[in-house]
Amino acid sequence: MDQEFQRYQNRGKFKQALLNEVRLKYVSISRFSRHTGINERTLGLIFKDKQALSLDKLDIITEALSFPPCHFYKDYINECFINGHVHYGRASEFIVHCYLLNQVELAEEMKSYLIEDTSKRQVNQTIMEIAEQLFLIGKTDVTEPFYDYIIQGEETLSEKLAIAVLRKYTIVRLRKNVEQTRQYLYKLIDMVGNLPTNSELIFHDNHKVHLKYQCQAYFLIVKYFNSREDWEQVYYYASKLGAISVGDPYYHPSSIIYKISSLRERGHLNEALILNQEISNFGSTYERLSIGNQRLIEVENGNQDVIPAVLEWIENDDEMKLFLPIMLECYVKNENYIDGLHMYQSYKHLFDEPFHSVMLLHQRRKSRLFLSAAELFFKLGNQEDACIYLAEAIELSLESKNLSRFQKCMLLFSMNIHMIRQSELNLIQASIKRGEIQYG
């Protein structure tokens, strides 16, 4: 009770101090009202502590009195209490605003008062609202403790807990923490059914954001398995995404694209072609992608005649990196080693460019690129270059934990071991050793 009375007194002193500044610089409240646009009666009630002072009005008053931004924020903390308890709405707005303006100490102080409040259900709800607003405006660096609080404090498989796990997964994924990413992925998979399909978050300035938590979760799950080339899981979760995203202009076509990739990678090329016909219905961007998919599938099916059309379709190096190993594999499959070598020479800069990416998807694409070159050079009888590329492919496949690619590397190695000299064998063994260290 003493603390409540102290806050009441401090609040009154603060508002009296504001009134004194107004009289000193503007003489009367009416002049100050005309200058700020704040209703004169409202100002009178605020200064008498008979009406709460909102944060946006405090900012207007601060500027009108020629004080620097946030000058009175320390005093405003008392305004975030009512009858001895935290006022959740004002506290939430104050914390978000302080983080946006890098007033971290004040935000943390108000957060500590909020967490100490006895109404845990309301505290959890407020913590979640703060975290979501900060997350959605890009302040992900400060949101993790808020989500951790929810994860540690929720006792049931609630909607809030599921959202907190989704956000925590997103945060650790951005940090490239492989073990934590995997841990929270499987937590997310367990809780995805508790996520709302459609939700709405209202910010303190009353603008609304529509959120599709479940779609976002399934999309991230699909991306995880796609980066690891676990094609059965890609198809399974892409189907889940497709089922709940009908009509959505982004998530639904994305689900189809991932299903096509899964079918193509597993050799179900006819099914992939049939499904690919749906993509062009989603606009010009997807129409172009549909054409690319069709040509990619035809090349994978061994049709080297379509390769010139593929080269015309490709617009940048990223697309070339995706298609190039598949085209080289097609030439090898057709025993057309001369055209394969010509293609390699034309795009040798893509093989030679420095590669430092830690992204699994990039590592796996690069390992496939190197493996396709190794296979081509073995067919050409150039075991020296073949072994150099094979060693690179082995190391990258292990580093990215791509066991299926590693097995393909070792199959190619065993098929050509009779051609390999001791120095080249040592090179490959060293790559295996380095890759195993990375693999853990």
- Is it the case that residue 356 has pLDDT exceeding 80? no
- Is it the case that residue 415 has pLDDT exceeding 90? yes
What pLDDT is recorded for position 437?
A: 54
- Cβ count near 76 (within 10 Å): 22
CB 144 within 8 A of CB 171: yes
What pLDDT is recorded for position 355?
A: 64
Q: Which residue has the higher pLDDT, 3 or 253?
A: 253
- Is it the case that residue 235 has pLDDT exceeding 80? yes
Average pLDDT of every residue of the chain: 91
Mean pLDDT of 312-328: 93
pLDDT in tens, 369-382: 999 999 999 999 99
- Is it the case that residue 233 has pLDDT exceeding 70? yes
- Is it the case that residue 317 has pLDDT exceeding 70? yes
Question: Which one-letter DSSP state was computed for residue 138?
Answer: T
Q: CA-to-CA distance for 83 and 85, rounded, in angstroms?
A: 6
What pLDDT is recorded for position 439?
A: 52
What pLDDT is recorded for position 200?
A: 80
Q: Tokens 């689900």 correspond to what residue?
A: 255
Show the DSSP H helices in 192-249 as ranges: 213-227, 231-244
What pLDDT is recorded for position 435?
A: 61
144-183 exposure pattern, b = at least 16 Cβ within 10 A, e = fewer: bebbebbbeebeeeebbbbbbbbbbbbbbbeeeeeeebee
Predicted structure pTM score: 0.86
Mean pLDDT of 301-318: 93
**Which residues face 211 on adjacent strands?**
199
Identify the CA nearest to 148 among candidates 184, 103, 193, 195: 184
The region, left, alpha or beta by phi > 0 then psi within -120 to 50, assigned to residue 87 is beta
What pLDDT is recorded for position 263?
A: 95
What pLDDT is recorded for position 221?
A: 98
Q: How confident is the model at residue 383 (pLDDT cuts 50, 70, 90)?
A: very high
pLDDT in tens, 207-226: 888 899 999 999 999 999 99
- Is it the case that residue 388 has pLDDT exceeding 90? yes
Is 436 in a helix, a strand, or coil? helix
Mean pLDDT of 65-74: 96
Residue 407: both structure tokens together:
């097995």
- Is it the case that residue 252 has pLDDT exceeding 80? yes
Q: Tokens 């080249």 correspond to what residue?
A: 424
Residue type, 316: N
Return the H-helix or E-strand segment holding 81. strand 81-82
Q: CA-to-CA distance for 369 and 135, rounded, in angstroms?
A: 37
pLDDT in tens, 190-205: 999 999 988 888 777 7
Burial class (CB in 10 A: 0-12, 13-18, 19+), 221: buried
Question: Which three-class secondary structure string do you get for 234-245?
Answer: HHHHHHHHHHHC
Q: Tokens 């009779």 correspond to what residue?
A: 418
Q: CA-to-CA distance for 256 and 238, rounded, in angstroms?
A: 7
Mean pLDDT of 54-81: 96
Return the H-helix or E-strand segment holding 290. helix 284-300
Q: CA-to-CA distance for 88 and 86, rounded, in angstroms?
A: 6
pLDDT in tens, 85-139: 899 999 999 999 999 999 999 999 999 999 998 888 899 999 999 999 999 999 9
Residue 89: both structure tokens together:
């709405």
What pLDDT is recorded for position 195?
A: 95
What pLDDT is recorded for position 209?
A: 85
Identify the CA nearest to 425 among candidates 388, 396, 395: 388
pLDDT in tens, 39-66: 999 999 999 999 999 999 999 999 999 9
Q: How confident is the model at residue 360 (pLDDT cuts 50, 70, 90)?
A: low
- Cβ count near 43 (within 10 Å): 22
